[in-house]
Chain A
Amino acid sequence: MDWTRILTNVVGEIFAPATAAYALAAIGLNVHFGMTGLINMGQAGFMLMGAYGYAIATMNGWPVWMAVIAALTAAAVFAVILGIPTLSLRGDYLAIVTIAAAEIARLTVRSSSLTAVTGGNSGISGNDFKGSFQNACPLPDGSWSLGPFQYSNCLSNSWWLRIVAWSLVVIAIVLVWRWMRSPWGRVLKGIREDEDAVRSLGKNVYGYKMQALVLGGLFGALGGMIYVLPSAVQADALGRTLTFNVWTILLLGGAATVFGPLLGSILMWTVLMFIKSTLRDLPFDIVSSTQAEAFSWVLVGVTLMLLVIFRPQGILGDRKEVAIDAR
């Protein structure tokens, strides 16, 4: 068993772009669930909007900043369409509708009838949309090593992507920190506790919920873009499992906390990497790499169950303040 390699893999996960992508998506879900109490089971749908929106816009020759705006617009429109029928309904309806909407989005973009636009089932290969982002890279060509971690400066899974991804995470955390401590955040918190009470005080609850849904969706879309930039866009990678992972991350770190999503993401991915690397290194090929992968998802599922039952406030949350609460 090669412990050095395992350790390197694990530490590499801490600042991997995917970890940042998940953290962003979980920050978005935190706005939905932690701050407002909305049970959004379709966060992957928002990520999908971001990923496809960005990739398709880029393939049509749009510059990076316009592609990002296109992606965010797609997610915002998705949120509004989703919110109109559901935000006045009971919480479990919202859960079912969001998961259904995310699924509709996935089935649509992977449909062979849209192959010309979305690449259908095979998706969009990385080289088709990464170019403009890589060209925007201010670093010199080549690659750079930090200890055992060597990545290209600008290409694919690069230092450039890491810098952008983690800058976005920092900005998102600062914004959420600001919002949580503002009168706006107070209204959301009130809605999370009892929306009728807030309504009786003259606040437009529907409007606030819509704002929260769109805002969290935008963070999700940013996460989606970062998620696909190191590799490729594939509809089936943006499905339900992704949503459930984001939920596990949020509940692990602690909903309604500022740093919960970040801590949850780092923790989940390092632990999973440790398990997968260790299983792969086991002698005699007891489990194949596919099985190691499946096993790690089994663990995520079990973790989610245990967390919700025994520690719904997660690591950072305050038991008195956190409730899994449907609105």
Chain B
Amino acid sequence: MPADAHITPKERIAKDLAAVPRKPGAAKPDSIIVADNVTRRFGGMTAVDVHHLEIQRGAITALIGPNGAGKTTLFNLLTGFDKPNSGEWSFDGKEVSRMSAAKVARAGMVRTFQLTKALSRMTVLENMRLGATDQSGEGLLRSLVPPLWRTREAEITAQATELLERFKLDTKAADFAGSLSGGQRKLLEMARALMTKPTMVMLDEPMAGVNPALTQSLLGHIQDLRDEGMTVLFVEHDMHMVRHISDWVVVMAEGRVVAEGPPATIMQDEAVVDAYLGAHHETDLGDDSLLDDEVLVELEAEAEAEEHRTQEDA
């Protein structure tokens, strides 16, 4: 369509999403993820309770919410790193709920971690090669016969070198990943995820701990992913960044999706204000459960668990 030829992907997606109602669980014109009734409980505390959620294909969707809102848990569930108590979801038309993390990744949904998991005692290039798919040399017996996998290894190395150049890490290829700075590790992790040639990239706080000098290039890379046709879902706290690059924003609080909408208007949503200015600010005080100490304790516990977990992940 010649009329559309000059418009950017961002504008096209904005057009696609324009008609989507601004309410939690809104249906999207072309959903890559459709989730229903997903719950995850830890002890007595419900960390995630999402009735319906759809993610638009090809768009950058931001997942925001206050600490302990269940964003990372939802991320873990979608990517197979945690098992739900109930619920189903599909990815790209395939049922992927309760699939192992590795299978989800092979289906084309690849994630990164809030605290980067660069494989410190491997070189940057080896990190990249590890991301590649279809390397038959990764089989126990075939690995003993190099002629069977050398050709593919050369292709992988070429792909890795190209990505490293794009992410400006090519000079570091021979260094141990542990010697990189925090921001460079984020870049490496993203580049490594791209080695799997995914259809959807899930980024858990891609900006956390990144040197401001690198922020701009990271933002650029994320937008490039969309422009190449990939779907991006990311968790982020930095509202500036959310407004700047996302096409759609999903807001979570207390495990639920409380609001959805385009980034320009989402922060005016009352539910979002509530979520950020204190979970129970101005809600119905007649609801006794909200005043219950137990609820508060549980919420604190979750926040703490998250904190604790992130320490352990390091």
Interfacial residues, chain A to chain B (CB-CB below 8 A): 175, 178-179, 182-187, 189-190, 193-194, 196-205, 211, 215, 320-323
Q: Judge whether A182 and B137 touch: CB under 8 Å.
A: yes
> Do B176 and A190 have beta carbons less than 8 Å apart?
no
- Chain B, interface size: which category? 35 or more
Q: Do A194 and B153 touch across chains, with their CB atoms under 8 A apart?
A: no
Does A203 contact B138, Cβ atoms closer than 8 Å? yes
B121 contacts A179, CB within 8 Å? no
Contacts A190-B130, A201-B105 given: A196-B135 contact, CB under 8 Å? Answer: no
Query: Shortest CB–CB separation between residue A32 and chain B, in angstroms?
Result: 14
Is B252 engaged at the interface, CB distance under 8 Å to the other chain?
no
B135:A183 contact, CB within 8 angstroms? yes
With A184-B140, A185-B143, A200-B110 in contact, is A190–B105 under 8 Å at CB?
A: no
Q: Which of A175, A183, A323 contacts B138 (CB 8 A)?
A: A183
Contact A193 B122 (CB under 8 A): yes
Nearest-Cβ distance from residue B81 to partner chain A, whole angstroms = 7
Query: Is there an interface contact between B140 and A189, defined as CB atoms closer than 8 Å?
Result: no
Q: A198-B130, A201-B131 are contacts. A183–B137 as well, Cβ < 8 Å?
A: yes
28 contacts between A and B (CB under 8 A): A178-B144, A179-B144, A182-B144, A183-B135, A184-B137, A184-B138, A184-B140, A184-B142, A185-B143, A186-B126, A187-B138, A193-B119, A193-B122, A196-B117, A197-B113, A198-B130, A199-B101, A199-B105, A200-B81, A200-B110, A200-B112, A201-B195, A201-B196, A202-B105, A321-B121, A321-B176, A322-B121, A323-B121
Known A183-B138, A190-B119, A193-B121; contact A205-B102, beta-carbon cutoff 8 A? yes
Tell me the B103-152 residues at the A interface (CB within 8 Å).
103, 105-106, 110-113, 117-122, 126, 129-131, 133, 135, 137-140, 142-144, 146, 149
Shortest beta-carbon distance, B109 to chain A, in Å? 10
Which of A182, A187, A198, A323 gathers most chain B CB within 10 Å? Answer: A182
Chain B nearest Cβ from A63, distance in angstroms: 25
Those 5 A-B pairs whose CB atoms lie nearest each other, nearest first:
A202-B105, A182-B143, A184-B143, A197-B117, A183-B137
Between A178, A186, A322, the greatest number of chain B beta carbons within 10 A of the residue's beta carbon is seen for: A186
Residues of B with C-beta under 8 A to A190: 119, 122, 130
| Nearest B-chain residue to A196, judged by Cβ | B117
Pairwise interchain contact B119-A197, C-beta atoms closer than 8 A:
yes
CB distance from A196 to the nearest CB of B (A): 6
Contact of A183 among B112, B119, B129 (CB under 8 A): B129
Within 8 A of A (CB), among B68-124: 79, 81, 100-103, 105-106, 110-113, 117-122
Chain A contact residues: over half helix, strand or loop, or mixed?
Answer: helix
B120 (CB) vs chain A CBs: closest residue: A193
Shortest CB-to-CB span from A164 to chain B, Å, is: 22
In the bound complex, do residue B121 and residue A320 qualify as a contact, i.e. CB atoms below 8 Å apart? yes
CA distance A199 to B111 in the complex (A): 10
- Given the complex of chains A and B, what is the CA–CA distance between A175 and B111 in angstroms? 34
Tell me the complex Cα distance, A208–B189, Å. Answer: 22
Q: Does B193 contact A (CB under 8 A)?
A: yes
Q: Give a binary string over B36-53; 1 marks a CB under 8 Å from any A CB, 0 the rest.
A: 000000000000000000
Residues of A within 8 A of B118 (CB): 197
Q: Residues of B contacting A322 with CB < 8 Å?
A: 121
What A residues does B133 contact at CB under 8 A? Answer: 202
Residues from chain A with a CB closer than 8 A to the CB of B138 are 183-184, 186-187, 203
Contact A194 B117 (CB under 8 A): yes
Q: Which of A183, A189, A198, A201 meets B153, CB within 8 Å?
A: A183
Give Cα A201–Cα B111 distance, bound, in whole angstroms: 8
Q: B139 and A184: CB pair below 8 A? A: yes
Using known A-B contacts A178-B144, A201-B105, A202-B133, determine if residue A183 contacts B149 with beta carbons closer than 8 Å.
yes
Report Cα–Cα, A199/B80, bound state, in Å.
Answer: 10
Q: Which residues of A are found within 8 Å of B113, using beta-carbon distances?
A: 196-197, 200
Is B192 engaged at the interface, CB distance under 8 Å to the other chain? yes
Asked whether, in the complex, the Cβ of B144 is within 8 Å of the Cβ of A200, the reply is no
In whole angstroms, what is the CA distance A202 to B111 when docked?
Answer: 10
Q: A182-B146, A186-B129, A193-B120 are in contact. Are A201 and B137 (CB under 8 A)?
A: no
In the bound complex, CA of A50 to CA of B92 (Å): 49
Q: CA of A320 to CA of B176 in the docked complex: distance in angstroms? A: 9
- Name the CB-closest residue of B to A195: B117
| Max count, chain B CB within 10 A of own CB: residue among A197, A198, A201, A205 | A201
